[in-house]
């Protein structure tokens, strides 16, 4: 009897996701790009909520991308978020040195994506939260870098944006190829829930990028496998509107 009880306790410790209030928020950045269609296919098949933080410049690049935006907007479980118009042209220090320029870039993306305040948004390259109930700055920025940029995130938020960072990332190579295997990523998520160090207790925002899910990387199968593994561990999937 004692042995059986010990085994049960071990299972609860080893599988923290079996407990209540363990929610994963799937988020995808930088689309629409190659890989976005596969993401939408999987989300539709699996019927789980997710947020696609889109870049305005990518959205208006061609007819295919414009159609992907419209398809995503037609899916009830998909939230379209703002990930800027330019993605800072990947020159973050210059971009964040001009707060009014950041706001103008974000507002331009709103126009392209057809979004109206309050807009769920993620700043390019910055793990920043500004929500009605909390705020958090990017802890990865050193003091010297932060001093050179010194953006007024409150001003950005007050311009009609709810800003979301992330708790964990499915990392990718420069080519877009995912680094962690699905099993490795799920093990990391289990470990994180075991410790519970999140911006909000019991809620993990997972950062991914659309380019990871191209056919060249077997992206559709990888995303489907991730969702299946999380379901098997009894994680809930959250819509970003319910995060705050």
CA atoms within 13 A on the CB side of 27: 29
Report the distance separating Cα 158 and Cα 178, nearest Å. 35
Q: What is the pLDDT of residues 22-32, one digit of tens each?
A: 999 999 999 99
Residue 176 has pLDDT above 70, yes or no: yes
Judged by DSSP in three states, 155 sits in: helix
Query: 70 CB contacts (<8 Å, ≥6 apart)?
Result: none
The pLDDT, as a whole number, for residue 95 is 93
Mean pLDDT of the chain: 90
Domain 21-242 superfamily per CATH = Glycoside hydrolase/deacetylase (3.20.20.370)
Q: Whole-angstrom Cα distance, residue 162 to residue 178? A: 28
Task: Report if pTM > 0.85.
Answer: yes
Specify whether the CB–CB gap between 146 and 87 falls below 8 A.
no
Distance CA 40, CA 37 (A): 5
Nearest CA among 102, 114, 116 for reference residue 56: 114
Contacts of 49 (CB under 8 A, 6+ apart): 26, 77, 78, 79, 237, 238, 239, 240
Question: What are the domain boundaries of the chain?
Answer: 21-242
* Interval 231-244: pLDDT, tens: 999 999 999 999 98
Q: Which residue reads 């379901």 in tokens?
A: 231
């Amino acid at each position: 009897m004692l042995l059986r009880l010990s085994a049960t306790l071990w299972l609860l410790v080893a599988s923290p996701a079996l407990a209540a209030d363990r929610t994963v928020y799937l988020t995808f950045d930088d689309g629409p790009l190659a890989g976005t269609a596969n993401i939408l296919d999987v989300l539709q098949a699996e019927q789980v909520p997710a947020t696609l933080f889109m870049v305005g410049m990518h959205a208006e690049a061609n007819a295919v991308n414009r159609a992907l935006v419209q398809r995503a907007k037609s899916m009830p479980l998909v939230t379209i978020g703002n990930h800027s118009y330019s993605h800072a042209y990947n020159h973050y220090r210059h971009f964040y040195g001009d707060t009014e320029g950041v706001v103008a870039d974000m507002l331009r993306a709103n126009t392209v994506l057809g979004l109206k305040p309050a807009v769920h948004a993620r700043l390019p390259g910055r793990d920043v939260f500004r929500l009605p109930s909390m705020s958090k700055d990017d802890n990865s920025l050193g003091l010297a870098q932060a001093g050179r940029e010194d953006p007024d995130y409150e001003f950005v938020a007050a311009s009609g944006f709810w800003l979301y960072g992330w708790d964990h990332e499915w990392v990718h190579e420069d080519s877009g190829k995912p680094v962690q295997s699905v099993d490795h990523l799920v093990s990391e998520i289990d470990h994180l829930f075991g410790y519970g160090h999140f911006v909000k207790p019991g809620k993990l925002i997972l950062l991914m990028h659309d380019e990871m899910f191209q056919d060249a990387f077997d992206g559709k199968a990888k995303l489907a496998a991730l969702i299946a593994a999380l379901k098997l561990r009894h994680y809930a999937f959250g819509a970003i509107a319910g995060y705050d």
